[in-house]
Amino acid sequence: MKPEGEPIHQESKEVGVSGGISILELILRIIAIIGTLGSAVAMGTTDQTLPFSTQALIFQAQYDDIPTFRFFVIANAVVCGYLAISLPMAIYHIIRTGAAKTRALLILLDTAMLAVLTAGASSAAAIVYLAHKGNASANWLAICQQYNNFCKRITGSLIGSFGAVFVFVLLVPLSGLVLCRLR
Protein backbone atom coordinates (compact mmCIF):
# COMPACT_ATOMS: atom_id res chain seq x y z
CA MET A 1 0.00 0.00 0.00
CA LYS A 2 1.47 3.32 -1.05
CA PRO A 3 1.03 6.27 1.32
CA GLU A 4 -1.35 8.92 -0.03
CA GLY A 5 0.91 11.94 0.45
CA GLU A 6 3.97 12.94 -1.57
CA PRO A 7 3.44 10.78 -4.67
CA ILE A 8 6.24 12.53 -6.58
CA HIS A 9 8.77 11.94 -3.81
CA GLN A 10 7.67 8.31 -3.64
CA GLU A 11 8.13 7.90 -7.37
CA SER A 12 11.61 9.42 -7.42
CA LYS A 13 12.59 7.03 -4.63
CA GLU A 14 11.29 4.11 -6.75
CA VAL A 15 13.34 5.32 -9.71
CA GLY A 16 16.38 5.58 -7.40
CA VAL A 17 16.07 1.95 -6.28
CA SER A 18 15.52 0.69 -9.84
CA GLY A 19 18.48 2.77 -10.99
CA GLY A 20 20.60 1.24 -8.24
CA ILE A 21 19.61 -2.26 -9.32
CA SER A 22 20.39 -1.33 -12.95
CA ILE A 23 23.91 -0.19 -11.97
CA LEU A 24 24.38 -3.43 -9.98
CA GLU A 25 23.29 -5.39 -13.06
CA LEU A 26 25.88 -3.61 -15.20
CA ILE A 27 28.63 -4.44 -12.69
CA LEU A 28 27.47 -8.09 -12.50
CA ARG A 29 27.55 -8.34 -16.30
CA ILE A 30 31.11 -7.04 -16.41
CA ILE A 31 32.12 -9.58 -13.73
CA ALA A 32 30.47 -12.37 -15.77
CA ILE A 33 32.33 -11.23 -18.91
CA ILE A 34 35.64 -11.51 -17.06
CA GLY A 35 34.66 -14.93 -15.66
CA THR A 36 33.58 -16.48 -18.95
CA LEU A 37 36.46 -14.94 -20.92
CA GLY A 38 38.96 -16.19 -18.33
CA SER A 39 37.44 -19.68 -18.40
CA ALA A 40 37.42 -19.88 -22.19
CA VAL A 41 41.03 -18.71 -22.47
CA ALA A 42 42.29 -20.85 -19.58
CA MET A 43 40.67 -23.99 -21.00
CA GLY A 44 41.43 -23.14 -24.63
CA THR A 45 45.17 -22.80 -24.04
CA THR A 46 45.54 -25.92 -21.89
CA ASP A 47 48.19 -28.24 -23.26
CA GLN A 48 50.66 -30.47 -21.46
CA THR A 49 53.40 -32.63 -22.94
CA LEU A 50 54.90 -35.13 -20.54
CA PRO A 51 58.70 -34.89 -20.02
CA PHE A 52 59.34 -38.53 -21.01
CA SER A 53 57.86 -38.02 -24.48
CA THR A 54 60.17 -38.98 -27.34
CA GLN A 55 60.10 -37.92 -30.98
CA ALA A 56 58.29 -41.10 -31.94
CA LEU A 57 55.91 -41.28 -29.00
CA ILE A 58 54.39 -38.08 -27.66
CA PHE A 59 52.44 -38.11 -24.43
CA GLN A 60 50.39 -34.98 -24.71
CA ALA A 61 47.13 -33.81 -23.19
CA GLN A 62 45.21 -31.04 -24.87
CA TYR A 63 41.81 -29.63 -24.00
CA ASP A 64 40.36 -30.59 -27.38
CA ASP A 65 41.15 -34.27 -26.90
CA ILE A 66 37.91 -34.30 -24.93
CA PRO A 67 34.84 -33.05 -26.85
CA THR A 68 33.16 -31.87 -23.63
CA PHE A 69 35.98 -29.38 -23.07
CA ARG A 70 35.55 -28.08 -26.62
CA PHE A 71 31.86 -27.52 -25.85
CA PHE A 72 32.90 -25.77 -22.62
CA VAL A 73 35.12 -23.31 -24.52
CA ILE A 74 32.44 -22.65 -27.15
CA ALA A 75 29.70 -22.13 -24.51
CA ASN A 76 31.88 -19.70 -22.55
CA ALA A 77 32.85 -17.80 -25.69
CA VAL A 78 29.24 -17.51 -26.86
CA VAL A 79 28.01 -16.31 -23.46
CA CYS A 80 30.92 -13.87 -23.18
CA GLY A 81 30.02 -12.42 -26.60
CA TYR A 82 26.36 -12.17 -25.64
CA LEU A 83 27.25 -10.38 -22.39
CA ALA A 84 29.39 -7.86 -24.29
CA ILE A 85 26.49 -7.18 -26.67
CA SER A 86 24.07 -6.83 -23.73
CA LEU A 87 26.17 -4.09 -22.07
CA PRO A 88 24.65 -1.19 -24.08
CA MET A 89 21.20 -2.49 -23.09
CA ALA A 90 22.27 -2.54 -19.42
CA ILE A 91 23.50 1.05 -19.73
CA TYR A 92 20.20 2.02 -21.39
CA HIS A 93 18.38 0.56 -18.35
CA ILE A 94 20.39 2.81 -16.03
CA ILE A 95 19.29 5.88 -18.01
CA ARG A 96 15.70 4.71 -18.60
CA THR A 97 14.76 2.84 -15.45
CA GLY A 98 11.16 2.56 -16.67
CA ALA A 99 11.94 0.50 -19.77
CA ALA A 100 9.90 -2.70 -19.41
CA LYS A 101 9.97 -4.39 -22.83
CA THR A 102 13.74 -4.46 -23.16
CA ARG A 103 13.92 -5.86 -19.61
CA ALA A 104 11.51 -8.67 -20.50
CA LEU A 105 13.68 -9.35 -23.58
CA LEU A 106 16.79 -9.48 -21.39
CA ILE A 107 15.07 -12.00 -19.07
CA LEU A 108 14.44 -14.23 -22.12
CA LEU A 109 18.01 -13.99 -23.42
CA ASP A 110 19.64 -14.24 -19.98
CA THR A 111 17.65 -17.38 -19.19
CA ALA A 112 18.70 -19.04 -22.45
CA MET A 113 22.35 -18.08 -21.84
CA LEU A 114 22.15 -19.35 -18.25
CA ALA A 115 21.08 -22.75 -19.61
CA VAL A 116 23.90 -22.83 -22.20
CA LEU A 117 26.57 -21.78 -19.71
CA THR A 118 25.40 -24.15 -16.97
CA ALA A 119 25.37 -27.00 -19.49
CA GLY A 120 28.95 -26.22 -20.54
CA ALA A 121 30.26 -25.77 -17.01
CA SER A 122 28.57 -28.83 -15.51
CA SER A 123 29.46 -31.24 -18.29
CA ALA A 124 33.08 -30.10 -18.05
CA ALA A 125 32.92 -30.46 -14.26
CA ALA A 126 31.68 -34.06 -14.64
CA ILE A 127 34.69 -34.91 -16.83
CA VAL A 128 37.12 -33.04 -14.54
CA TYR A 129 35.76 -35.03 -11.60
CA LEU A 130 36.34 -38.23 -13.57
CA ALA A 131 39.88 -37.14 -14.44
CA HIS A 132 40.60 -36.64 -10.75
CA LYS A 133 38.83 -39.63 -9.24
CA GLY A 134 38.36 -42.07 -12.09
CA ASN A 135 35.66 -44.72 -11.86
CA ALA A 136 36.41 -48.27 -10.82
CA SER A 137 33.09 -49.73 -12.02
CA ALA A 138 33.48 -48.44 -15.55
CA ASN A 139 37.24 -49.09 -15.45
CA TRP A 140 38.04 -45.46 -16.21
CA LEU A 141 41.35 -44.55 -14.57
CA ALA A 142 42.13 -41.15 -13.11
CA ILE A 143 44.50 -39.34 -15.48
CA CYS A 144 45.49 -36.58 -13.06
CA GLN A 145 48.48 -38.46 -11.65
CA GLN A 146 50.19 -38.27 -15.03
CA TYR A 147 48.81 -35.03 -16.33
CA ASN A 148 49.07 -32.98 -13.18
CA ASN A 149 49.40 -29.49 -14.68
CA PHE A 150 46.72 -30.24 -17.25
CA CYS A 151 44.35 -31.18 -14.45
CA LYS A 152 45.12 -28.12 -12.36
CA ARG A 153 44.48 -25.92 -15.36
CA ILE A 154 41.15 -27.48 -16.35
CA THR A 155 39.96 -27.47 -12.73
CA GLY A 156 40.84 -23.80 -12.33
CA SER A 157 39.11 -22.86 -15.56
CA LEU A 158 35.79 -24.08 -14.10
CA ILE A 159 35.81 -21.35 -11.44
CA GLY A 160 35.18 -18.41 -13.78
CA SER A 161 32.43 -20.30 -15.54
CA PHE A 162 30.55 -21.29 -12.37
CA GLY A 163 31.00 -17.73 -11.08
CA ALA A 164 29.27 -16.47 -14.23
CA VAL A 165 26.47 -19.04 -13.72
CA PHE A 166 25.95 -17.61 -10.23
CA VAL A 167 25.86 -14.08 -11.68
CA PHE A 168 23.14 -15.12 -14.14
CA VAL A 169 21.11 -16.68 -11.31
CA LEU A 170 21.21 -13.20 -9.71
CA LEU A 171 20.68 -11.20 -12.92
CA VAL A 172 17.42 -12.81 -14.03
CA PRO A 173 15.51 -12.31 -10.72
CA LEU A 174 16.92 -8.75 -10.43
CA SER A 175 15.32 -7.93 -13.80
CA GLY A 176 12.12 -9.52 -12.51
CA LEU A 177 12.31 -7.42 -9.35
CA VAL A 178 12.63 -4.18 -11.33
CA LEU A 179 9.66 -5.20 -13.53
CA CYS A 180 7.69 -5.96 -10.35
CA ARG A 181 8.51 -2.51 -8.92
CA LEU A 182 7.58 -0.75 -12.17
CA ARG A 183 4.00 -1.86 -11.70
Which residues sit at the interface with a copy of itself, rule CB under 8 A? 61-62, 65-68, 100-101, 103-104, 107-108, 111-112, 114-115, 118-127, 129-131, 133, 135, 137-141, 143, 165, 168-169, 172-173, 175-177, 179-180, 182-183
- Considering beta carbons, is residue 30 or 68 the nearer one to a copy of itself? 68
* Least Å from the CB of residue 140 to a copy of itself: 4
- Considering beta carbons, is residue 5 or 171 the nearer one to a copy of itself? 171
Alpha-carbon torsion 152, 170, 88, 17, what sign? Answer: negative
**DSSP type of residue 146:** T
d(C-alpha 180, C-alpha 104), whole Å: 11
48 forms beta bridges with 61
**DSSP type of residue 140:** B
* Least Å from the CB of residue 25 to a copy of itself: 14
d(C-alpha 70, C-alpha 6), whole Å: 58
- Considering beta carbons, is residue 38 or 120 the nearer one to a copy of itself? 120
Identity of the amino acid at 127: I
Q: Contact 92/130 with Cβ under 8 angstroms? A: no
* Least Å from the CB of residue 8 to a copy of itself: 19
- Considering beta carbons, is residue 20 or 67 the nearer one to a copy of itself? 67
